Amino acid sequence: AQSVTQLGSHVSVSEGALVLLRCNYSSSVPPYLFWYVQYPNQGLQLLLKYTTGATLVKGINGFEAEFKKSETSFHLTKPSAHMSDAAEYFCAVSEYGNKLVFGAGTILRVKS
Amino acid sequence: DADVTQTPRNRITKTGKRIMLECSQTKGHDRMYWYRQDPGLGLRLIYYSFDVKDINKGEISDGYSVSRQAQAKFSLSLESAIPNQTALYFCATSDSTSGGKTQYFGPGTRLLVL
């Protein structure tokens, strides 16, 4: 069965600092991996996804993630945090591109 | 205009009442999903439908039922609401012709059961 673990329910960074949100998954087949962002009182918006091909995936708003099969990880990074990045971030895994299984989410706080 | 809409956006109801949450989409997608979000638990799949005649239970379907009235409409019902069904509910869609990999979410319905 698929599962996703997001390390850290809350992450706090200073404006301009590196953002690193961790995601580890388990899957019995090559996975499809996703990061979604949820701004306050809004739905989920796709940040980026990995399906096949290049393991370093670039998304919107300067975010990127790297699929590391050996580590079963798909960590999300951004070189320089902005106040507008404050939100909740969800990692999700899918087998065969069907149902999504989500992690518990990480709330990112950006300090000025 | 939003591609995936949910009505109502907020709802307060009482224990034992029947309630229906509705989802409509203009994306032309064939697959639709219902999730609930609880703090610290992420999103969990309640039901999903890969076409009008195909409806499947998800991880947490007990206490819920669904209806796929048309390709564009997918409703979630709570036959007899209970307080632990208080949550944020999301509808999502995906397109099988593009592999169905990416799901697009509606804005959510916040439900409070008293």
Chain A nearest-CA distance from B80, in A, is: 26
| pLDDT tens profile A54-105 | 889 999 999 999 999 999 999 999 999 999 999 999 999 987 667 899 999 9
Tell me the pLDDT tens digit for each residue of A13-63: 999 999 999 999 998 888 899 999 999 888 899 999 998 888 899 999 999
Q: Which of B99, B103, B108 sits opposite A100 (nearest CB)?
A: B103
Residue B57, pLDDT score: 95
Contact assessment for residue A91 and residue A7, using Cβ atoms and an 8 Å cutoff: no
Nearest C-alpha neighbor of A65 from the set A5, A20, A8, A109: A20
Alpha-helix runs per DSSP H in A29-109: none
> Comparing C-alpha atoms, which of A86, A97, A81, A79 is closest to residue A34?
A97
Measure the CA dihedral B77/B83/B84/B89, to 10°.
40
From chain B, pick out residues whose CB is under 8 angstroms from the CB of A100.
Answer: 33, 43, 45, 103
pLDDT reported for residue B2: 67
- Paired with B78 in beta bridges are B19, B64
**Coil, strand, or helix at residue A45?**
strand
The answer to whether B43 contacts chain A (CB < 8 Å) is yes
